[in-house]
Amino acid sequence: MEEFLKLIGVLKAEVNRVWLGRGVPPPLLEALSAHVVEETLIALRLAKALDCDIGRTLLLTLAHELGDASQSLERARKEFEEAASLEARVARIAHELAIVAQAKRYLKMGLDVRKVLEEHVSRVLDEAAAVKRDVLAQLVHEALSSSP
């Protein structure tokens, strides 16, 4: 339980490092916990639509963010990084879509994060293309077309 509580503390205390040095003022930096919640909910939606293992997908999503903080998540983080399964691909897509959504919010606030947006849109399209599922392509298109 102690390790679990430490992981929660990491989530609450950290900011999403994607935005450091990208023109986002410190008071507006996205909390890592907010990013994790968003990407986990996206992963849940995608996993359901693709009929893949939801629990595994959510574990991989969390392992990606918390792998450094927990040795027990090391294998799952490696699977995520290597895109070694459909669930890992879905988790990676959810991660990228969460960054895209936040970039759109920042743009709406007048912050110039276009480079981050373009980079992560490209990544999500590459990941989705590797999966080759029409339902995923449709969901990704809807997510990329939507406003925050």
pLDDT in tens, the chain (148 residues): 887 788 788 888 899 999 999 999 999 999 999 999 999 999 999 999 999 999 999 999 998 887 666 777 889 999 999 999 999 999 999 999 999 999 999 999 999 999 999 999 999 999 999 999 999 999 999 999 998 7
pLDDT recorded at residue 95? 97
* Domain range enclosing 99: 2-145
pLDDT recorded at residue 69? 66
pLDDT recorded at residue 67? 65
87 and 47 Cβ atoms separated by less than 8 Å? yes
CA distance 82 to 77: 9
140 and 125 Cβ atoms separated by less than 8 Å? yes
CA distance 101 to 118: 12
Structure-block tokens of residue 35 = 């990013």
Q: How many domains does the chain have?
A: 1
CATH code, 31: 1.10.3210.10
Calculate ∠ Cα 19-87-55, nearest 5°.
95
What's the predicted TM-score (pTM) here?
A: 0.93
